[in-house]
Amino acid sequence: MAKSNQRQNKNKSQPDTRNLKPIEIDETIISAKNAKVNGGENLTITVPIEDFLQRIGAFQGMEKEDEAEQIHWEVFEQKLEEILGTTNLEVNLTNLKKYLKYLKQNLTIPCLVTGMEEFEWEEHYTMGPGSKKEYQKLKKTQPSYTDQFNLLKLDNILDVEYGIFAVLERTTDNRKFTLPLADLETVVEDSINGELLEDYSMWFFTYCE
């Protein structure tokens, strides 16, 4: 083929770039192709890449949290096994006696405590139909979760339903009460006593039948 013909063919194969529009790149990920809506019209659904990456990151974060929680729980169970001297972690009189002994050896008494949440008698007034006026009157003679108490000692009487009992003295009027230890928490949270009570409550409410 003559070179003149080659040049003509080459010129024909080259498009006129003067009228071409620049290509715009949309940073999206196509999540569905040609979805048919409204009588068969095709619709391409796209998801912005930023949203896609955020969702992946959130999912990976949840996985890491689950793994960390699982590790924390395994460590906690090992701790309970050491306290109770057995792999049977259920709440029974035998294990309550062991836990009582452990707490008496490690809990610093007296210590300042308060209610973890409403005491049983208060639920009728805080979550039920009981009147506020009557509730305020009863709080003068009954212990309230909003009160602060000095934990004086742990009672030797044990109960599978309520666990270990604590003998308390209310700071405002020196009235004494005996309440389930599992319903209490220390006023100073970040403390050895706080950790001891938190561990006991977690064990009791988790493994109590």
pLDDT digits (tens, 9 = 90+) for 141-182: 999 999 999 999 999 999 999 999 999 999 999 999 999 999
70 Cβ contact partners less than 8 Å away, ≥ 6 residues apart = none
Place of tokens 């309520």: 162
- pLDDT at residue number 122: 94
Q: How many CA atoms lie within 13 A of 90 on its CB side?
A: 6
Model pLDDT, residue 37: 47
Q: Which amino acid is at 78?
A: Q
- Strand 184-186 versus strand 148-159 pairing type: unpaired
Task: Considering only residues 158 and 14, tell me which one the structure prediction assigns the higher pLDDT.
Answer: 158
- Separation of alpha carbons 209 and 194, rounded Å: 25
**pLDDT at residue 47, as a whole number:** 56
Q: Which of 34-48, 131-145, 161-175, 180-194 has the lowest mean pLDDT?
A: 34-48
Copy the structure tokens of residue 169.
């003295």
Could you tell me the pTM of the whole model?
0.66
Structure-model confidence comparison of residues 64 and 201, the more confident one: 201
Instruction: Give Cα 102 to chain centroid, integer Å.
Output: 27
Residue 70: pLDDT band with limits 50, 70, 90: confident
Task: Tell me the C-alpha distance between 95 and 99, whole Å.
Answer: 6
